[in-house]
Chains A and B, each alone.
Chain A
Amino acid sequence: MTSVVEMGAGPPVVALGASFAGSDAHRLLAARFRVIAMETDGDAGAAAAQWVTDAGLEQVGFLGVGAGGTDALAAAVEVGERARCVVLASPGPPPDPQVLRTPKAVLIGTDDPAQPPDAVSAWRAALAPCHVVLIYEGGGDVAAIRPRAFAEAAGDFLDRQGRFGFASKSVAVEPD
């Protein structure tokens, strides 16, 4: 059985992972995107890819929260060029290296006990090329522990990928 909880409007993002649907992180990200949170008993990656096809989406971002990271990567592989990018939030230890040309970012807490000491290098090697975002004091679940930081970093990457390194907000004291 698959459950789908949608929030927000804008570019579509399919979010996979338990406990994300309806969370603060979901609500905050929905301020910028149409965020479709899916949970399924079966193969979540295949289910998400099928849902994207059935919905006729031409471009979609994938978000994997926790163990949903593996499913998000699988879904991105499945839909091919329709995957705009993939963001993984606190996905557990780095997997074996895999090839996926879709732009990728990994968000991990600076104090995540599941990450190895060389987490930045390991993730960059496993998903090369990819951005690794350290969420200060984000623990083992950055979306739940620091939802605003999660939404800022994930949202900017989902929005801008290659220009993620550049600020988009004015730093003028009087922007108008």
Chain B
Amino acid sequence: MKTCFLGTGGYTGQVAVRGWPVPPEQCDRQEAANSMAIAIRNYKMAEEAGFDWISISEHHYQPGLMTPNPAILAAAVSRETSRVKIALLGPLIPLVNPVRTAEEIAMLDALNGGRTVVLFLKGTPNEHATYGTNPAETREITQEGVELILRAWTEPQPFSWEGRFFRYRTVSVWPRTVQDPHPPVFYSGNSEESAEFAGRKGLSIAIGFAPPAKVKEQVDIYRRAARAAGWEPTHDNVLYRGRMIIAETDSAANEIAERVRARAPATTPTGAPAGAGGGDPTAGVAGIQFVGGPDTVLKKAQVLRDAGVGILDVAVAGGGMTRSMELFGRLFAPALKEVA
């Protein structure tokens, strides 16, 4: 099983007001710079600890996940790492110019020598207020945007696009992605409709924070759609996102988890209810998916593997980031690779 370190690019300073949006006056300018340096350091540690991928998501107007353009942080991380896949999980298509996103990701793939992975999402409800997106249209916008990006990466000649939501009279993306025909593309697998779309279009899927039985249901829907479209997904086509609290023993991990739960706010930094799931990477605060020592975590990973998951994208905590990475690298990473 592959593992992916879910970093946050989170603000390292103190913030008095939570919710969304958080007023910019609470952001200390030097602390912002420090936050980015810490984020990059954490990603480097993740590579050294044995993670196969690192992931960066897109969120806006708040300090917990301070990556409104994940490609920028990914570019910096690309130059500080050499082995890990750099996963944008992911650009929020209703909020972006898809052709510009295709260009940015192609640049990123050139910068990191073809280590890019991407997950296209429609965003959490509060984020549709960022640039005035109509929430009722986000699914259709995302589906069209994904098709446009794939065309922009694969058409060898200039073309025009007349969509329902996007119109471009000239599309001719430079540079091309290093990966041929393009980086691996994931799509949300959280709903029946999105899992079916991904299977039909030949995309991989990402499922966030769901219990294993629900994961299996979604993977089954996805596989059926893929088979109907003439292809067979593997475990590497299914990513699961969750939170992981680790220690050398179950009791030590449970103690850390209790402290985390005690200070968890009622809502996530993006404004969603804690534990809401969906595409919000912070939404598992109230329900941490992996808590335990190596044996317990491996058993849970095996259950997900049996449900069809091949990549675990996890926010890891275990008593400080340095300690967590040391633990993960020593006790968890080698064992998780053997989960099959």
Contact = CB atoms under 8 A, between A and B. Distances in A.
Interface of A: 107, 110, 118, 120-121, 124, 131-138, 146, 149, 152-153, 156, 164-167
A118 B159 CA distance: 12
Nearest to B164: A136
A118 B151 CA distance: 11
A121 B154 CA distance: 11
A118 B156 CA distance: 9
Interface of B: 144, 147-148, 151, 155-164, 166-167, 169-170
A124 B157 contact: yes
Contacts of A146: 162
Contact of B162 (A118, A149, A165): A149
Contact of B164 (A120, A137, A166, A167): A137
B144 A136 contact: yes
B160 A134 contact: yes
- In the A-B complex, the 7 residue pairs with the smallest Cβ-Cβ separation, listed nearest first, are A136-B163, A133-B160, A165-B169, A149-B162, A165-B170, A153-B162, A121-B157
Contacts of B156: 118, 120-121
Given A132-B160, A133-B159, A137-B164, 17 more contacts: A107-B162, A120-B156, A120-B157, A121-B155, A121-B156, A131-B160, A132-B158, A132-B159, A133-B160, A133-B162, A134-B159, A135-B162, A136-B164, A149-B164, A156-B169, A165-B169, A166-B169
- Among B148, B158, B160, the one with the most A-chain Cβ atoms within 10 Å of its Cβ is B160
A134 B162 contact: yes
Contacts, number: 54
B161 A136 contact: yes
30 contacts: A107-B162, A110-B147, A118-B156, A120-B156, A120-B159, A121-B157, A132-B157, A132-B158, A133-B160, A133-B161, A134-B159, A134-B160, A134-B161, A134-B162, A135-B162, A136-B147, A136-B148, A136-B162, A136-B164, A136-B166, A137-B164, A138-B162, A146-B162, A149-B162, A149-B163, A153-B162, A165-B160, A165-B169, A165-B170, A166-B169
A29 to B, nearest CB: 14
A131 B170 CA distance: 9
Contacts of B147: 110, 136
A158 to B, nearest CB: 14
Given A164-B169, A165-B169, A165-B170, A120 B155 contact: yes
Contacts of B160: 131-134, 153, 164-165
B231 to A, nearest CB: 16
Nearest to B148: A136
B69 to A, nearest CB: 22
Contact of B151 (A131, A134, A137, A167): A134
Contacts of B164: 136-137, 149
Nearest to A121: B157
Nearest to A108: B159
A121 B155 CA distance: 8
Nearest to B160: A133
Nearest to A111: B147
B147 to A, nearest CB: 7
Nearest to B170: A165
A44 B256 CA distance: 80
B27 to A, nearest CB: 28
Contacts of A152: 162, 167
Nearest to B169: A165
Contacts of A121: 155-157
A67 B23 CA distance: 59
A135 B161 CA distance: 6
A95 B210 CA distance: 52
A146 B168 CA distance: 16
Contacts of A120: 155-157, 159
- Among A120, A137, A146, the one with the most B-chain Cβ atoms within 10 Å of its Cβ is A120
A124 B160 CA distance: 12
A132 B155 CA distance: 11
B152 to A, nearest CB: 11
Contacts of A167: 169
